[in-house]
Amino acid sequence: MLDRTTYANVKRLVKRSCANYSNSRCLHYDTQCDYESRFGHAISCDYFEKSVLPNDDVLEARYKKAHGINYQDDLEESKNIRKCLDCSEVFFRKSNRQTRCSECQRNANRKAKAERMRKYREKASNM
Ligand SMILES: [Zn+2]
Protein backbone atom coordinates (compact mmCIF):
# COMPACT_ATOMS: atom_id res chain seq x y z
CA MET A 1 0.00 0.00 0.00
CA LEU A 2 1.46 3.34 -1.01
CA ASP A 3 1.43 6.35 1.24
CA ARG A 4 -0.06 9.54 -0.11
CA THR A 5 3.20 11.18 -1.20
CA THR A 6 4.58 8.07 -2.87
CA TYR A 7 1.29 7.48 -4.61
CA ALA A 8 1.24 11.05 -5.90
CA ASN A 9 4.80 10.65 -7.18
CA VAL A 10 3.90 7.38 -8.85
CA LYS A 11 0.97 9.01 -10.61
CA ARG A 12 3.17 11.85 -11.75
CA LEU A 13 5.78 9.43 -13.08
CA VAL A 14 3.10 7.42 -14.87
CA LYS A 15 1.73 10.51 -16.56
CA ARG A 16 5.14 11.72 -17.55
CA SER A 17 6.90 8.51 -18.52
CA CYS A 18 4.59 5.56 -19.05
CA ALA A 19 4.41 4.80 -22.78
CA ASN A 20 1.02 3.16 -22.33
CA TYR A 21 -0.60 6.02 -20.48
CA SER A 22 -3.11 8.09 -22.38
CA ASN A 23 -5.81 10.25 -20.80
CA SER A 24 -6.04 8.11 -17.65
CA ARG A 25 -6.25 4.97 -19.74
CA CYS A 26 -3.78 2.17 -20.26
CA LEU A 27 -3.17 1.43 -23.93
CA HIS A 28 -1.49 -1.84 -23.10
CA TYR A 29 -4.28 -3.44 -21.08
CA ASP A 30 -7.00 -1.28 -22.64
CA THR A 31 -8.53 -0.31 -19.31
CA GLN A 32 -8.32 2.60 -16.99
CA CYS A 33 -4.73 3.04 -15.84
CA ASP A 34 -4.30 1.01 -12.63
CA TYR A 35 -2.84 3.96 -10.79
CA GLU A 36 -5.72 6.21 -11.78
CA SER A 37 -8.26 3.78 -10.42
CA ARG A 38 -9.90 3.95 -7.03
CA PHE A 39 -7.49 1.41 -5.61
CA GLY A 40 -4.45 2.81 -7.35
CA HIS A 41 -2.46 3.05 -4.15
CA ALA A 42 -2.83 -0.68 -3.61
CA ILE A 43 -2.34 -1.87 -7.17
CA SER A 44 0.83 -2.82 -8.92
CA CYS A 45 1.18 -2.74 -12.68
CA ASP A 46 3.80 -5.09 -14.12
CA TYR A 47 4.61 -2.84 -17.02
CA PHE A 48 5.07 0.17 -14.80
CA GLU A 49 7.27 -1.69 -12.34
CA LYS A 50 9.50 -3.14 -15.02
CA SER A 51 9.75 -0.33 -17.53
CA VAL A 52 8.80 2.98 -15.96
CA LEU A 53 9.61 2.83 -12.27
CA PRO A 54 13.36 2.10 -12.68
CA ASN A 55 13.73 5.60 -14.13
CA ASP A 56 13.37 6.97 -10.63
CA ASP A 57 15.66 5.23 -8.13
CA VAL A 58 14.35 6.92 -5.03
CA LEU A 59 10.74 6.39 -5.90
CA GLU A 60 11.44 2.81 -6.90
CA ALA A 61 12.95 2.03 -3.51
CA ARG A 62 10.01 3.64 -1.69
CA TYR A 63 7.48 1.95 -3.89
CA LYS A 64 8.96 -1.51 -3.44
CA LYS A 65 9.18 -1.04 0.29
CA ALA A 66 5.58 0.13 0.48
CA HIS A 67 4.36 -2.82 -1.56
CA GLY A 68 6.65 -5.24 0.21
CA ILE A 69 8.17 -6.27 -3.07
CA ASN A 70 11.28 -8.35 -2.86
CA TYR A 71 13.31 -8.65 -6.01
CA GLN A 72 15.60 -11.30 -4.57
CA ASP A 73 14.18 -13.90 -6.94
CA ASP A 74 15.30 -11.94 -9.97
CA LEU A 75 18.72 -11.62 -8.47
CA GLU A 76 18.89 -15.35 -7.79
CA GLU A 77 18.00 -15.95 -11.39
CA SER A 78 20.69 -13.69 -12.80
CA LYS A 79 23.26 -15.38 -10.60
CA ASN A 80 22.45 -18.60 -12.37
CA ILE A 81 23.17 -17.26 -15.82
CA ARG A 82 26.54 -18.48 -16.99
CA LYS A 83 28.69 -18.34 -20.05
CA CYS A 84 29.52 -21.70 -21.53
CA LEU A 85 33.15 -22.71 -21.08
CA ASP A 86 33.41 -24.03 -24.63
CA CYS A 87 31.20 -22.01 -26.93
CA SER A 88 30.72 -18.86 -24.79
CA GLU A 89 26.99 -19.08 -25.30
CA VAL A 90 24.97 -17.82 -22.35
CA PHE A 91 22.95 -20.47 -20.60
CA PHE A 92 20.85 -20.93 -17.52
CA ARG A 93 22.58 -23.28 -15.16
CA LYS A 94 20.66 -25.82 -13.15
CA SER A 95 23.40 -26.63 -10.70
CA ASN A 96 26.44 -24.90 -9.23
CA ARG A 97 28.86 -27.21 -10.97
CA GLN A 98 27.52 -26.71 -14.44
CA THR A 99 30.07 -24.87 -16.58
CA ARG A 100 28.89 -25.67 -20.07
CA CYS A 101 25.65 -25.30 -22.01
CA SER A 102 23.74 -28.56 -22.38
CA GLU A 103 25.00 -29.17 -25.89
CA CYS A 104 28.67 -28.68 -25.03
CA GLN A 105 28.15 -30.69 -21.87
CA ARG A 106 26.93 -33.59 -24.00
CA ASN A 107 29.99 -33.30 -26.25
CA ALA A 108 32.28 -33.05 -23.23
CA ASN A 109 30.72 -36.16 -21.70
CA ARG A 110 31.14 -38.04 -24.97
CA LYS A 111 34.79 -37.02 -25.18
CA ALA A 112 35.45 -38.01 -21.59
CA LYS A 113 33.83 -41.36 -22.20
CA ALA A 114 35.89 -41.96 -25.36
CA GLU A 115 39.01 -41.06 -23.42
CA ARG A 116 38.12 -43.52 -20.65
CA MET A 117 37.52 -46.23 -23.21
CA ARG A 118 40.82 -45.50 -24.94
CA LYS A 119 42.75 -45.78 -21.67
CA TYR A 120 40.88 -48.91 -20.78
CA ARG A 121 41.74 -50.55 -24.10
CA GLU A 122 45.36 -49.41 -23.80
CA LYS A 123 45.64 -51.01 -20.40
CA ALA A 124 43.95 -54.17 -21.61
CA SER A 125 46.32 -54.57 -24.56
CA ASN A 126 49.37 -54.15 -22.32
CA MET A 127 48.41 -57.03 -20.14
ZN1 LIG B 1 28.35 -24.43 -25.15
The predicted-structure confidence for 71-102, as pLDDT tens digits, reads as follows 555 555 667 778 899 998 888 888 878 889 99
Task: Using the 3D structure, point to which of 69, 99, 114 is the last residue of a domain.
Answer: 69
The verdict on 64 and 102 lying in the same domain is: no
Say how many Å lie between the CA of residue 107 and the centre of ligand 1.
Answer: 9
Residue 17 has pLDDT above 60, yes or no: yes
**In terms of Cα–Cα distance, which of 9, 17, 84, 76 is closest to 50?**
17
Domain co-membership, 87 together with 103: yes
**91, 116: one domain:** yes
pLDDT digits (tens, 9 = 90+) for 1-15: 899 999 999 999 999
Query: What's the whole-number average pLDDT of the chain?
Result: 88
pLDDT in tens, 46-76: 899 999 999 998 899 889 888 887 655 555 5
Distance in Å, CA 106 to ligand 1 centroid:
9
CA of 113 relative to ligand 1 center, distance in Å? 18
pLDDT band (50, 70, 90) for residue 126: confident
> How far is ligand 1, taken at its centre, from the CA of residue 75, in Å?
23
φ, ψ (nearest 5 deg) of residue 90: -80, 135
> Is 29 found in the same domain as 9?
yes
In this prediction, residue 15 carries a pLDDT of 96
36 close to 12: Cβ distance less than 8 angstroms: no
CA dihedral 91, 94, 97, 101 (to 10 degrees): -30
Look at 72 and 21; give whichever has higher pLDDT: 21
Question: Do 10 and 58 share a structural domain?
Answer: yes
Q: Which residues contact 93 (CB under 8 A, 6 or more apart)?
A: 80, 81, 82
Assess whether 89 and 37 both reside in one domain.
no
- pLDDT higher than 70, residue 26: yes
Domain boundary among 69, 91, 118: 69
Report the C-alpha gap between 97 and 41 in whole angstroms.
44
- Asked if 54 and 20 sit in the same domain, the reply is yes
Domain that holds residue 99: 74-126
Around ion ligand 1, residues with a beta carbon closer than 5 Å are 84, 86-87, 89, 101, 104
Ligand 1 geometric centre to CA of 100 (Å): 5
CA of 88 to the centre of ligand 1 (A): 6
Distances (CA, A) of 9 to 68, 96, 120: 18, 42, 71
Q: Determine the pLDDT at residue 10.
A: 96
Same domain, 41 and 20: yes
E strands, the chain, where?
21-22, 25-26, 31-32, 81-83, 90-92
User: In terms of domains, do 57 and 8 share one?
Assistant: yes
Q: 69, 99, 115 — which closes off a domain? A: 69
Domain count, the chain: 2
